[in-house]
Amino acid sequence: MSKNFPPGPRDGCFGLRTMAGLKADVLGTYTQLKERYGDVVSFPIAGQRLFVFFHPDAVREILVAQAKSFIRVPRVMRVFAQWNGSSVLIAEGEPWLRQRRLVQPAFQPRRFERYGQTMVAATERLAQSWQTEIDARGSLDVEINQAMTDLTLNIICRTMFATDVTDTSGDIARAVAILSEVAFHEMQSPFTLPNWWPSRFIRNKRWAMNVLDEAVWQIVRTRRAAGDDQGDLLSMLLAAVDEEGDGGRLDDRQVRNELMTLMLAGHDTTAAALDWVWYNLAQYPASAAACQAELAARIGNRAVAASDVPQLKFIEAVVKESLRLYPPAIGVFLRQPTADVDICGTQVPRGSLVALSSYVTQRDARWFAEPNRFLPERFLAPAVHDLKPNAYFPFGAGPRVCIGQSFAMTEMVLIVATLLRRFTVALAPDQGTVELQVHASLRPRNGVRLRWTPRA
Ligand code: HEM
Protein backbone atom coordinates (compact mmCIF):
# COMPACT_ATOMS: atom_id res chain seq x y z
CA MET A 1 0.00 0.00 0.00
CA SER A 2 1.33 3.44 -0.97
CA LYS A 3 2.82 5.58 1.82
CA ASN A 4 1.42 8.70 0.16
CA PHE A 5 -0.55 9.83 3.17
CA PRO A 6 -2.97 12.78 3.11
CA PRO A 7 -1.56 16.02 4.55
CA GLY A 8 -1.60 16.82 8.24
CA PRO A 9 0.32 18.59 10.99
CA ARG A 10 4.02 17.73 11.15
CA ASP A 11 4.80 17.09 14.72
CA GLY A 12 8.42 16.45 15.55
CA CYS A 13 7.56 15.06 19.00
CA PHE A 14 6.11 11.66 17.94
CA GLY A 15 2.63 13.19 17.69
CA LEU A 16 2.66 14.26 21.34
CA ARG A 17 1.98 17.93 20.54
CA THR A 18 -1.03 17.10 18.38
CA MET A 19 -2.20 14.63 21.00
CA ALA A 20 -2.00 17.33 23.67
CA GLY A 21 -4.04 19.64 21.39
CA LEU A 22 -6.70 16.96 20.96
CA LYS A 23 -6.82 16.32 24.69
CA ALA A 24 -7.17 20.01 25.54
CA ASP A 25 -9.77 20.81 22.87
CA VAL A 26 -10.71 18.00 20.53
CA LEU A 27 -13.53 19.88 18.77
CA GLY A 28 -11.49 23.05 18.21
CA THR A 29 -8.48 21.02 17.02
CA TYR A 30 -10.55 18.98 14.53
CA THR A 31 -12.27 22.16 13.27
CA GLN A 32 -8.89 23.80 12.65
CA LEU A 33 -7.44 20.69 11.00
CA LYS A 34 -10.33 20.58 8.55
CA GLU A 35 -10.01 24.29 7.76
CA ARG A 36 -6.31 23.86 7.12
CA TYR A 37 -6.07 20.50 5.35
CA GLY A 38 -9.55 19.79 3.93
CA ASP A 39 -11.73 16.68 3.95
CA VAL A 40 -9.09 14.24 5.11
CA VAL A 41 -6.14 14.78 7.38
CA SER A 42 -3.61 12.29 8.68
CA PHE A 43 -0.82 12.38 11.21
CA PRO A 44 1.11 10.06 13.52
CA ILE A 45 -0.18 9.75 17.04
CA ALA A 46 1.11 7.53 19.84
CA GLY A 47 2.95 5.25 17.43
CA GLN A 48 0.03 4.85 15.00
CA ARG A 49 -1.23 6.84 12.01
CA LEU A 50 -4.58 8.55 12.51
CA PHE A 51 -6.79 9.43 9.53
CA VAL A 52 -9.64 11.86 10.22
CA PHE A 53 -12.35 12.05 7.54
CA PHE A 54 -14.81 14.94 7.39
CA HIS A 55 -16.64 14.32 4.11
CA PRO A 56 -20.11 12.66 4.21
CA ASP A 57 -19.09 10.21 1.44
CA ALA A 58 -16.31 8.95 3.71
CA VAL A 59 -18.83 8.63 6.57
CA ARG A 60 -20.88 6.32 4.33
CA GLU A 61 -17.82 4.28 3.31
CA ILE A 62 -16.59 3.77 6.90
CA LEU A 63 -19.87 3.25 8.76
CA VAL A 64 -21.96 1.59 6.05
CA ALA A 65 -20.40 0.42 2.76
CA GLN A 66 -17.13 -0.95 4.18
CA ALA A 67 -18.25 -1.42 7.79
CA LYS A 68 -17.17 -5.07 7.67
CA SER A 69 -13.55 -4.00 7.26
CA PHE A 70 -13.55 -2.01 10.51
CA ILE A 71 -13.62 -2.77 14.22
CA ARG A 72 -13.78 -0.42 17.17
CA VAL A 73 -10.33 0.38 18.50
CA PRO A 74 -9.50 -2.43 20.98
CA ARG A 75 -7.61 -0.15 23.38
CA VAL A 76 -10.63 2.17 23.63
CA MET A 77 -13.06 -0.71 24.01
CA ARG A 78 -10.95 -2.12 26.85
CA VAL A 79 -11.57 1.14 28.73
CA PHE A 80 -15.36 0.84 28.37
CA ALA A 81 -15.30 -2.93 28.97
CA GLN A 82 -14.06 -2.29 32.53
CA TRP A 83 -17.62 -1.49 33.58
CA ASN A 84 -19.72 -2.67 30.59
CA GLY A 85 -18.24 -6.16 30.32
CA SER A 86 -18.46 -7.78 26.87
CA SER A 87 -21.90 -6.31 26.07
CA VAL A 88 -23.38 -5.43 22.67
CA LEU A 89 -21.52 -2.11 22.81
CA ILE A 90 -18.15 -3.82 23.15
CA ALA A 91 -18.37 -7.13 21.23
CA GLU A 92 -17.33 -7.63 17.60
CA GLY A 93 -18.20 -10.16 14.89
CA GLU A 94 -20.48 -13.13 15.63
CA PRO A 95 -20.82 -12.50 19.41
CA TRP A 96 -21.87 -8.90 18.68
CA LEU A 97 -24.49 -10.01 16.14
CA ARG A 98 -25.90 -12.55 18.58
CA GLN A 99 -26.12 -9.97 21.38
CA ARG A 100 -27.66 -7.37 19.09
CA ARG A 101 -30.34 -9.90 18.08
CA LEU A 102 -31.10 -10.64 21.72
CA VAL A 103 -31.50 -6.99 22.70
CA GLN A 104 -33.33 -5.88 19.54
CA PRO A 105 -36.85 -7.09 20.53
CA ALA A 106 -36.94 -4.45 23.30
CA PHE A 107 -36.98 -1.80 20.55
CA GLN A 108 -39.87 -3.15 18.46
CA PRO A 109 -42.32 -0.35 17.54
CA ARG A 110 -45.26 -2.17 19.19
CA ARG A 111 -43.63 -1.62 22.60
CA PHE A 112 -43.45 2.14 22.22
CA GLU A 113 -47.00 2.99 23.31
CA ARG A 114 -46.24 1.55 26.76
CA TYR A 115 -42.78 3.13 26.89
CA GLY A 116 -44.43 6.43 25.96
CA GLN A 117 -46.80 6.20 28.94
CA THR A 118 -43.83 5.70 31.28
CA MET A 119 -41.90 8.57 29.69
CA VAL A 120 -44.82 11.00 29.95
CA ALA A 121 -45.74 9.93 33.50
CA ALA A 122 -42.14 10.46 34.71
CA THR A 123 -42.01 13.89 33.04
CA GLU A 124 -45.41 14.86 34.49
CA ARG A 125 -44.09 14.02 37.98
CA LEU A 126 -41.09 16.28 37.37
CA ALA A 127 -43.37 19.07 36.06
CA GLN A 128 -45.59 18.70 39.12
CA SER A 129 -42.62 18.98 41.50
CA TRP A 130 -41.48 22.14 39.68
CA GLN A 131 -45.00 23.59 39.86
CA THR A 132 -45.13 22.94 43.62
CA GLU A 133 -41.86 24.84 44.08
CA ILE A 134 -43.05 27.69 41.90
CA ASP A 135 -46.29 27.92 43.93
CA ALA A 136 -44.22 28.14 47.11
CA ARG A 137 -41.47 30.46 45.91
CA GLY A 138 -42.82 32.35 42.93
CA SER A 139 -40.16 31.36 40.39
CA LEU A 140 -37.90 28.42 39.63
CA ASP A 141 -34.35 28.17 38.30
CA VAL A 142 -33.23 24.62 37.59
CA GLU A 143 -29.80 23.19 36.78
CA ILE A 144 -30.98 21.26 33.78
CA ASN A 145 -28.21 18.68 33.42
CA GLN A 146 -28.99 17.09 36.77
CA ALA A 147 -32.74 17.23 36.17
CA MET A 148 -32.49 15.58 32.74
CA THR A 149 -30.03 12.93 33.99
CA ASP A 150 -32.38 11.93 36.82
CA LEU A 151 -35.35 11.89 34.46
CA THR A 152 -33.77 9.82 31.68
CA LEU A 153 -32.17 7.42 34.18
CA ASN A 154 -35.56 6.79 35.78
CA ILE A 155 -37.18 6.30 32.38
CA ILE A 156 -34.62 3.78 31.12
CA CYS A 157 -34.75 1.75 34.36
CA ARG A 158 -38.57 1.69 34.43
CA THR A 159 -39.03 0.89 30.74
CA MET A 160 -36.29 -1.71 30.34
CA PHE A 161 -36.10 -3.30 33.82
CA ALA A 162 -39.37 -2.21 35.52
CA THR A 163 -37.20 -0.87 38.33
CA ASP A 164 -37.58 2.34 40.31
CA VAL A 165 -34.16 3.91 40.97
CA THR A 166 -35.44 7.17 42.45
CA ASP A 167 -33.60 6.50 45.74
CA THR A 168 -30.24 5.68 44.15
CA SER A 169 -30.37 7.85 41.03
CA GLY A 170 -28.17 10.55 42.63
CA ASP A 171 -25.33 8.09 43.27
CA ILE A 172 -25.76 6.44 39.87
CA ALA A 173 -25.65 9.81 38.10
CA ARG A 174 -22.49 10.80 40.04
CA ALA A 175 -20.90 7.45 39.17
CA VAL A 176 -21.73 7.91 35.48
CA ALA A 177 -20.23 11.42 35.46
CA ILE A 178 -17.03 10.08 37.06
CA LEU A 179 -16.71 7.20 34.58
CA SER A 180 -17.43 9.52 31.66
CA GLU A 181 -14.39 11.54 32.71
CA VAL A 182 -12.33 8.41 33.43
CA ALA A 183 -13.16 7.09 29.94
CA PHE A 184 -12.09 10.36 28.34
CA HIS A 185 -8.72 10.38 30.14
CA GLU A 186 -7.95 6.68 29.76
CA MET A 187 -8.85 6.68 26.04
CA GLN A 188 -6.20 9.31 25.46
CA SER A 189 -3.49 7.88 27.69
CA PRO A 190 -1.01 5.34 26.39
CA PHE A 191 -1.53 3.23 29.55
CA THR A 192 -4.18 2.66 32.24
CA LEU A 193 -3.32 2.92 35.93
CA PRO A 194 -4.17 -0.26 37.85
CA ASN A 195 -7.24 -0.12 40.08
CA TRP A 196 -5.14 -0.44 43.29
CA TRP A 197 -3.20 2.74 42.44
CA PRO A 198 -3.36 5.13 45.43
CA SER A 199 -4.82 8.27 43.87
CA ARG A 200 -8.07 10.20 44.13
CA PHE A 201 -8.80 9.58 40.44
CA ILE A 202 -8.57 5.79 40.87
CA ARG A 203 -10.44 5.84 44.21
CA ASN A 204 -13.30 7.71 42.54
CA LYS A 205 -13.21 5.31 39.61
CA ARG A 206 -13.42 2.30 41.96
CA TRP A 207 -16.29 3.88 43.88
CA ALA A 208 -18.19 4.61 40.65
CA MET A 209 -17.68 1.11 39.25
CA ASN A 210 -18.91 -0.40 42.54
CA VAL A 211 -22.01 1.78 42.67
CA LEU A 212 -23.04 0.78 39.15
CA ASP A 213 -22.13 -2.86 39.60
CA GLU A 214 -24.18 -3.16 42.77
CA ALA A 215 -27.15 -1.33 41.28
CA VAL A 216 -27.25 -3.62 38.24
CA TRP A 217 -26.60 -6.89 40.12
CA GLN A 218 -29.39 -5.96 42.52
CA ILE A 219 -31.79 -5.62 39.58
CA VAL A 220 -30.73 -9.00 38.09
CA ARG A 221 -30.91 -10.87 41.42
CA THR A 222 -34.26 -9.43 42.45
CA ARG A 223 -35.86 -10.47 39.18
CA ARG A 224 -34.23 -13.90 39.14
CA ALA A 225 -35.58 -14.48 42.65
CA ALA A 226 -39.07 -13.25 41.75
CA GLY A 227 -38.98 -15.48 38.67
CA ASP A 228 -41.90 -13.65 37.03
CA ASP A 229 -42.09 -12.44 33.44
CA GLN A 230 -42.76 -8.70 33.42
CA GLY A 231 -42.61 -8.49 29.65
CA ASP A 232 -39.69 -6.03 29.75
CA LEU A 233 -36.15 -6.27 28.39
CA LEU A 234 -34.84 -7.84 31.60
CA SER A 235 -37.37 -10.70 31.46
CA MET A 236 -36.60 -11.12 27.77
CA LEU A 237 -32.86 -11.39 28.41
CA LEU A 238 -33.29 -13.83 31.29
CA ALA A 239 -35.44 -16.09 29.14
CA ALA A 240 -33.82 -15.34 25.78
CA VAL A 241 -32.98 -18.08 23.33
CA ASP A 242 -30.91 -17.06 20.32
CA GLU A 243 -32.97 -18.91 17.74
CA GLU A 244 -31.06 -17.76 14.68
CA GLY A 245 -27.77 -18.57 16.44
CA ASP A 246 -26.84 -21.59 18.57
CA GLY A 247 -30.08 -21.64 20.60
CA GLY A 248 -28.13 -20.86 23.79
CA ARG A 249 -29.23 -18.76 26.80
CA LEU A 250 -27.44 -15.89 28.53
CA ASP A 251 -25.91 -16.48 31.94
CA ASP A 252 -26.40 -13.90 34.72
CA ARG A 253 -23.11 -12.15 34.01
CA GLN A 254 -24.05 -11.68 30.37
CA VAL A 255 -27.45 -10.32 31.42
CA ARG A 256 -25.70 -7.98 33.85
CA ASN A 257 -23.42 -6.73 31.04
CA GLU A 258 -26.28 -5.96 28.64
CA LEU A 259 -28.24 -4.26 31.43
CA MET A 260 -25.27 -2.10 32.37
CA THR A 261 -24.78 -0.96 28.77
CA LEU A 262 -28.46 -0.22 28.22
CA MET A 263 -28.68 1.65 31.51
CA LEU A 264 -25.64 3.79 30.66
CA ALA A 265 -26.03 4.24 26.88
CA GLY A 266 -29.79 4.51 27.40
CA HIS A 267 -29.72 7.64 29.54
CA ASP A 268 -26.39 9.48 29.43
CA THR A 269 -26.47 10.64 25.80
CA THR A 270 -30.21 11.33 25.92
CA ALA A 271 -29.76 13.54 28.99
CA ALA A 272 -26.89 15.38 27.28
CA ALA A 273 -29.03 15.84 24.15
CA LEU A 274 -31.89 17.27 26.23
CA ASP A 275 -29.54 19.72 27.97
CA TRP A 276 -28.79 21.18 24.54
CA VAL A 277 -32.42 21.13 23.38
CA TRP A 278 -33.42 23.23 26.39
CA TYR A 279 -30.42 25.51 26.03
CA ASN A 280 -31.35 26.15 22.40
CA LEU A 281 -35.04 26.70 23.15
CA ALA A 282 -34.11 29.14 25.93
CA GLN A 283 -32.07 31.12 23.44
CA TYR A 284 -34.54 30.95 20.56
CA PRO A 285 -37.97 31.77 22.07
CA ALA A 286 -39.57 31.89 18.58
CA SER A 287 -38.76 28.18 18.14
CA ALA A 288 -40.14 27.40 21.61
CA ALA A 289 -43.33 29.32 20.73
CA ALA A 290 -43.62 27.35 17.46
CA CYS A 291 -43.43 24.10 19.48
CA GLN A 292 -46.19 25.37 21.76
CA ALA A 293 -48.34 26.36 18.78
CA GLU A 294 -47.89 22.88 17.34
CA LEU A 295 -48.95 21.34 20.65
CA ALA A 296 -52.06 23.52 20.80
CA ALA A 297 -53.00 22.60 17.22
CA ARG A 298 -52.27 18.86 17.37
CA ILE A 299 -52.79 17.84 20.99
CA GLY A 300 -54.94 20.46 22.72
CA ASN A 301 -55.27 19.99 26.47
CA ARG A 302 -54.66 16.27 26.85
CA ALA A 303 -51.36 14.55 27.70
CA VAL A 304 -49.17 13.45 24.77
CA ALA A 305 -48.60 9.80 23.86
CA ALA A 306 -46.09 7.94 21.70
CA SER A 307 -48.68 7.71 18.92
CA ASP A 308 -48.69 11.55 18.73
CA VAL A 309 -44.99 11.77 17.93
CA PRO A 310 -45.41 11.55 14.11
CA GLN A 311 -47.68 14.64 14.32
CA LEU A 312 -45.16 16.72 16.28
CA LYS A 313 -42.94 17.54 13.33
CA PHE A 314 -41.66 20.88 14.60
CA ILE A 315 -40.66 19.51 18.01
CA GLU A 316 -38.91 16.63 16.27
CA ALA A 317 -37.08 19.16 14.06
CA VAL A 318 -35.99 21.08 17.19
CA VAL A 319 -34.52 17.88 18.66
CA LYS A 320 -32.78 16.99 15.39
CA GLU A 321 -31.30 20.46 15.02
CA SER A 322 -29.96 20.29 18.59
CA LEU A 323 -28.38 16.92 17.80
CA ARG A 324 -26.79 18.52 14.73
CA LEU A 325 -25.20 21.40 16.63
CA TYR A 326 -24.33 19.35 19.73
CA PRO A 327 -24.06 15.64 18.87
CA PRO A 328 -23.83 14.08 22.34
CA ALA A 329 -22.15 10.74 21.46
CA ILE A 330 -19.03 12.51 20.38
CA GLY A 331 -16.23 10.04 20.98
CA VAL A 332 -17.59 6.84 19.44
CA PHE A 333 -16.51 7.24 15.83
CA LEU A 334 -13.02 5.83 16.18
CA ARG A 335 -12.31 2.70 14.17
CA GLN A 336 -9.49 0.42 13.06
CA PRO A 337 -9.44 -1.22 9.60
CA THR A 338 -8.80 -4.97 9.72
CA ALA A 339 -7.60 -4.89 6.07
CA ASP A 340 -6.10 -2.26 3.77
CA VAL A 341 -9.01 -0.09 2.60
CA ASP A 342 -9.64 2.65 0.06
CA ILE A 343 -11.80 5.44 1.48
CA CYS A 344 -12.85 7.82 -1.29
CA GLY A 345 -9.42 7.57 -2.92
CA THR A 346 -7.37 7.61 0.30
CA GLN A 347 -5.41 4.42 0.95
CA VAL A 348 -5.72 3.48 4.63
CA PRO A 349 -3.44 0.67 5.81
CA ARG A 350 -4.71 -2.11 8.06
CA GLY A 351 -4.23 -1.33 11.76
CA SER A 352 -4.24 2.48 11.46
CA LEU A 353 -6.72 4.61 13.36
CA VAL A 354 -9.69 6.17 11.57
CA ALA A 355 -11.82 8.91 13.10
CA LEU A 356 -14.98 10.76 12.07
CA SER A 357 -16.25 13.93 13.69
CA SER A 358 -20.03 14.36 13.66
CA TYR A 359 -19.50 17.76 15.30
CA VAL A 360 -17.33 19.10 12.44
CA THR A 361 -19.21 17.47 9.54
CA GLN A 362 -22.57 18.61 10.92
CA ARG A 363 -21.32 22.21 11.07
CA ASP A 364 -19.93 22.27 7.53
CA ALA A 365 -21.38 25.19 5.51
CA ARG A 366 -21.35 23.06 2.35
CA TRP A 367 -24.04 20.80 3.81
CA PHE A 368 -25.82 23.14 6.24
CA ALA A 369 -26.38 26.79 5.33
CA GLU A 370 -25.59 29.15 8.23
CA PRO A 371 -24.13 26.14 10.01
CA ASN A 372 -23.78 27.65 13.48
CA ARG A 373 -27.37 28.94 13.62
CA PHE A 374 -30.15 27.01 15.34
CA LEU A 375 -32.64 26.54 12.48
CA PRO A 376 -35.03 23.62 13.09
CA GLU A 377 -36.77 24.45 9.78
CA ARG A 378 -33.95 22.73 7.88
CA PHE A 379 -35.36 19.41 9.15
CA LEU A 380 -38.88 20.14 7.84
CA ALA A 381 -40.18 19.44 4.34
CA PRO A 382 -39.30 20.57 1.74
CA ALA A 383 -35.80 21.68 2.97
CA VAL A 384 -35.09 18.31 4.58
CA HIS A 385 -35.18 16.58 1.19
CA ASP A 386 -32.13 18.60 0.09
CA LEU A 387 -29.90 17.51 2.97
CA LYS A 388 -26.69 15.84 1.86
CA PRO A 389 -26.87 12.10 2.64
CA ASN A 390 -24.59 11.05 5.53
CA ALA A 391 -23.77 14.66 6.50
CA TYR A 392 -25.93 14.15 9.60
CA PHE A 393 -25.19 11.14 11.78
CA PRO A 394 -25.71 11.81 15.52
CA PHE A 395 -26.80 8.17 15.98
CA GLY A 396 -24.19 6.74 13.60
CA ALA A 397 -25.16 4.66 10.55
CA GLY A 398 -24.80 1.16 9.18
CA PRO A 399 -24.77 -2.08 11.15
CA ARG A 400 -23.60 -0.46 14.40
CA VAL A 401 -26.09 2.40 14.29
CA CYS A 402 -27.51 3.25 17.73
CA ILE A 403 -29.98 0.54 18.70
CA GLY A 404 -31.91 3.05 20.84
CA GLN A 405 -32.37 5.72 18.16
CA SER A 406 -36.19 5.51 17.91
CA PHE A 407 -36.49 5.08 21.68
CA ALA A 408 -34.41 8.22 22.25
CA MET A 409 -36.25 10.29 19.63
CA THR A 410 -39.64 9.30 21.06
CA GLU A 411 -38.46 10.03 24.58
CA MET A 412 -37.02 13.45 23.74
CA VAL A 413 -40.09 14.58 21.77
CA LEU A 414 -42.43 13.46 24.58
CA ILE A 415 -40.34 15.15 27.28
CA VAL A 416 -40.13 18.42 25.34
CA ALA A 417 -43.87 18.31 24.57
CA THR A 418 -44.85 17.55 28.18
CA LEU A 419 -42.75 20.33 29.72
CA LEU A 420 -43.53 22.96 27.07
CA ARG A 421 -47.26 22.41 27.55
CA ARG A 422 -46.84 23.67 31.10
CA PHE A 423 -43.91 26.08 31.07
CA THR A 424 -41.91 28.59 29.09
CA VAL A 425 -38.15 28.36 29.39
CA ALA A 426 -35.42 31.02 29.50
CA LEU A 427 -31.81 31.23 30.67
CA ALA A 428 -31.64 31.95 34.41
CA PRO A 429 -30.46 35.52 35.11
CA ASP A 430 -27.24 34.21 36.72
CA GLN A 431 -26.37 31.86 33.81
CA GLY A 432 -23.20 33.02 32.06
CA THR A 433 -21.72 31.74 28.80
CA VAL A 434 -22.03 27.99 28.38
CA GLU A 435 -18.86 26.09 27.54
CA LEU A 436 -18.64 22.67 25.93
CA GLN A 437 -17.32 19.73 27.92
CA VAL A 438 -16.18 16.67 25.99
CA HIS A 439 -16.05 13.57 28.11
CA ALA A 440 -17.74 10.33 27.02
CA SER A 441 -20.60 12.61 25.95
CA LEU A 442 -20.78 16.27 24.94
CA ARG A 443 -22.36 18.26 27.75
CA PRO A 444 -22.48 21.86 28.89
CA ARG A 445 -19.60 22.30 31.36
CA ASN A 446 -21.10 22.97 34.81
CA GLY A 447 -24.60 22.44 33.41
CA VAL A 448 -27.06 25.17 32.43
CA ARG A 449 -29.37 27.07 34.76
CA LEU A 450 -32.79 27.67 33.24
CA ARG A 451 -35.80 29.63 34.47
CA TRP A 452 -39.16 27.89 34.14
CA THR A 453 -42.32 30.00 34.17
CA PRO A 454 -45.81 28.47 34.16
CA ARG A 455 -47.85 29.31 31.07
CA ALA A 456 -51.08 31.21 31.51
C1 HEM B 1 -29.82 11.15 22.01
C2 HEM B 1 -29.59 9.93 22.43
C3 HEM B 1 -28.58 8.98 21.82
C4 HEM B 1 -27.56 9.24 20.94
C5 HEM B 1 -27.14 10.56 20.34
C6 HEM B 1 -26.92 7.97 20.69
C7 HEM B 1 -25.85 7.80 19.82
C8 HEM B 1 -25.22 6.59 19.59
C9 HEM B 1 -24.09 6.41 18.73
C10 HEM B 1 -23.44 7.52 17.89
C11 HEM B 1 -23.73 5.12 18.78
C12 HEM B 1 -22.53 4.46 18.14
C13 HEM B 1 -22.62 4.26 16.66
C14 HEM B 1 -21.30 3.75 16.13
O15 HEM B 1 -20.39 3.38 16.87
O16 HEM B 1 -21.19 3.74 14.91
C17 HEM B 1 -24.63 4.46 19.69
C18 HEM B 1 -24.58 3.11 20.01
C19 HEM B 1 -25.42 2.51 20.90
N20 HEM B 1 -26.48 3.08 21.56
FE21 HEM B 1 -27.09 4.99 21.40
N22 HEM B 1 -27.55 7.00 21.41
C23 HEM B 1 -28.58 7.57 22.10
C24 HEM B 1 -29.50 6.92 22.91
C25 HEM B 1 -29.52 5.57 23.16
C26 HEM B 1 -30.54 4.88 23.93
C27 HEM B 1 -31.80 5.54 24.49
C28 HEM B 1 -30.15 3.57 24.00
C29 HEM B 1 -30.84 2.40 24.66
C30 HEM B 1 -32.04 2.43 25.18
C31 HEM B 1 -28.89 3.44 23.28
C32 HEM B 1 -28.17 2.27 23.18
C33 HEM B 1 -27.06 2.13 22.37
C34 HEM B 1 -26.33 0.87 22.23
C35 HEM B 1 -26.62 -0.44 22.95
C36 HEM B 1 -25.30 1.11 21.30
C37 HEM B 1 -24.28 0.08 20.79
C38 HEM B 1 -24.87 -0.56 19.54
C39 HEM B 1 -23.93 -1.55 18.84
O40 HEM B 1 -22.72 -1.40 18.93
O41 HEM B 1 -24.45 -2.43 18.16
N42 HEM B 1 -28.54 4.67 22.79
N43 HEM B 1 -25.54 5.38 20.16
In the predicted model, what is the mean pLDDT of residues 48-54? Answer: 95
With a 6 A CB cut-off, is 63 part of the ligand 1 pocket?
Answer: yes
Q: Mark residue 344 as left, alpha or beta (left: phi above 0; alpha: psi -120 to 50; beta: remaining).
A: left
Specify the CATH number for the domain of residue 418.
1.10.630.10
Counting residues of the chain whose pLDDT is more than 90, the rounded percentage is 75
Clarify whether residues 79 and 198 are in a common domain.
no
In the predicted model, what is the mean pLDDT of residues 127-144? Answer: 94
**The pLDDT value given to residue 15:** 64
Tell me which residue has its CA closest to atom 30 in ligand 1: 266
With a 6 A CB cut-off, is 402 part of the ligand 1 pocket?
Answer: yes
Clarify whether residues 323 and 414 are in a common domain.
yes
Clarify whether residues 76 and 37 are in a common domain.
yes
Phi and psi at 72, nearest 5°, equal -75, 150
Q: Mean pLDDT across the chain, nearest whole number?
A: 92
CA distance 246 to 285: 55
Clarify whether residues 414 and 338 are in a common domain.
no
Q: pLDDT-derived band of residue 245, with 50, 70 and 90 as boundaries?
A: low
Clarify whether residues 62 and 175 are in a common domain.
no
Q: What is the CA radius of gyration of the chain?
A: 22
**The pLDDT value given to residue 209:** 96
Clarify whether residues 303 and 169 are in a common domain.
yes
Type of residue found at 73: V
Q: pLDDT-derived band of residue 444, with 50, 70 and 90 as boundaries?
A: very high
Clarify whether residues 164 and 276 are in a common domain.
yes
In the predicted model, what is the mean pLDDT of residues 413-424? Answer: 97
Q: Tell me, yes or no, if the pTM score tops 0.85.
A: yes
Question: Which of 105-114, 121-130, 226-235, 431-440 has the highest average model confidence (pLDDT)?
Answer: 121-130
Q: pLDDT-derived band of residue 14, with 50, 70 and 90 as boundaries?
A: low
Tell me which residue has its CA closest to atom 37 in ligand 1: 89
**pLDDT at residue 443 above 90?**
yes
With a 6 A CB cut-off, is 84 part of the ligand 1 pocket?
Answer: no
Tell which of 319, 346, 361 closes a domain: 361
Clarify whether residues 216 and 339 are in a common domain.
no
Tell me which residue has its CA closest to atom 41 in ligand 1: 400
Specify the CATH number for the domain of residue 340.
3.30.43.20
List the alpha helices (DSSP H) in 335-403.
Answer: 358-361
CA 136 vs CA 125, 130, 181, 372: distances in Å: 17, 10, 37, 39
Between 14 and 87, the more confident residue is 87
Q: Which of 141-145, 182-186, 311-315, 395-399 has the weakest average pLDDT?
A: 182-186
The per-residue DSSP string of 146-175 comes to: HHHHHHHHHHHHHHHH----TTTHHHHHHH
**pLDDT at residue 198 above 90?**
no
**The pLDDT value given to residue 12:** 63
How many structural domains comprise the chain? Answer: 2
Residue 34 belongs to what domain range?
1-83+329-361
Q: Which of 96, 361, 402 to mutate to test the pocket of ligand 1 (most atoms within 8 A of CB)?
A: 402
CA distance 22 to 26: 4
With a 6 A CB cut-off, is 403 part of the ligand 1 pocket?
Answer: yes
Clarify whether residues 58 and 176 are in a common domain.
no
Tell which of 340, 361, 382 closes a domain: 361
Clarify whether residues 264 and 407 are in a common domain.
yes
**pLDDT at residue 173 above 70?**
yes
Clarify whether residues 276 and 381 are in a common domain.
yes
With a 6 A CB cut-off, is 182 part of the ligand 1 pocket?
Answer: no
**pLDDT at residue 242 above 70?**
no
- Determine the Cα angle at 272 with ends 38 and 99, to 5°: 85
**The pLDDT value given to residue 220:** 92
Counting residues of the chain whose pLDDT is more than 70, the rounded percentage is 96
In the predicted model, what is the mean pLDDT of residues 285-295? Answer: 98
Tell which of 361, 384, 414 closes a domain: 361
Clarify whether residues 281 and 384 are in a common domain.
yes
